[in-house]
Amino acid sequence: MTEITPDLVLRAYTIGYFPMAEHRGDNDLFWVCPDRRGIIPLDNVHIPRKLRSALRDDNHTVTCNQDFRGVLQGCAEAKPKRQDTWISPRIMELFCALHDMGFAHSIEVWNKKNQLVGGLYGVALGGAFFGESMFSRETDMSKIALMHLIARLRHSQFQLLDTQFITKHLQQFGAVEISKDEYIEKLESALQIRTRFYTGQMNQDLLLSALPQPNTVTS
């Protein structure tokens, strides 16, 4: 059996596959390439009015790549509706290696007590970002993280935000489901883009200017 290495994971992303584990304690990984793929079109992002207001408040601080492992651990936590997770120790090891290599990135949301209360992580290749997982320990903090991710992707002129699967949670932001063939076409185009994921400071002015303007806001 071929060993799954960070380099192999990167090659897999370029042809539409990503790794998963059956459960938290399973170090055997398998490849997934869904027949229907979830994406958020970066030129058609929906921002609920309440969320746009939350982006302006000062009750939280958002950072990038400050606590990658902490975000993975947050994403792997048991939840009331999900007691197990596909984020196994082997998955953590692989993605921490990808982070060290400069490909995997995290967005962290901190409360006033400097506690990590939300975040997400994924992999950037060319002009494509492959979202892996997100979490919230306080209301709407994963939504805040997602908006900051989208702002960074738009600022960096990324072309594709891959959510792997589609959920009702993601649909409120404009996520759609496309066929495997359409996804591969978009992926191949995005991989040709020469850009870098923006990891610098994102103040409120830059955040709001990078996001769709209020005339596209939904209630």
Give 10-50 pLDDT, tens digit per residue: 999 999 999 988 877 777 899 999 999 999 999 999 999 99
What total of structural domains would you count in the chain?
Answer: 1
Higher pLDDT, 213 or 167: 167
pLDDT at 149: 98
Q: Average of pLDDT values for 160-171? A: 94
Confirm whether 1 is domain-assigned: no
Lowest-confidence region among 81-90, 147-156, 184-193: 81-90
pLDDT at 21: 86
Confirm whether 117 is domain-assigned: yes
What is the chain's mean pLDDT, rounded? 92
DSSP bridge partners of 20: 30
Confirm whether 46 is domain-assigned: yes
Lowest-confidence region among 45-54, 82-91, 203-212: 82-91
Q: Is the dihedral of CA 189, 193, 198, 204 positive or negative?
A: negative
Confirm whether 205 is domain-assigned: yes
Confirm whether 178 is domain-assigned: yes
Confirm whether 203 is domain-assigned: yes
- Measured between its terminal Cα atoms, the distance across the chain in Å is 50
Burial (CB < 10 A; 0-12, 13-18, 19+), residue 96, is middle
pLDDT in tens, 177-199: 999 999 999 999 999 999 999 99
**Which domain CATH number covers 53?**
3.40.630.70
Domain that holds residue 22: 6-216
Confirm whether 59 is domain-assigned: yes
* Residue 80's pLDDT band (cuts 50, 70, 90): low
Confirm whether 184 is domain-assigned: yes
Phi, psi of 66 (to 5 degrees): -95, -25
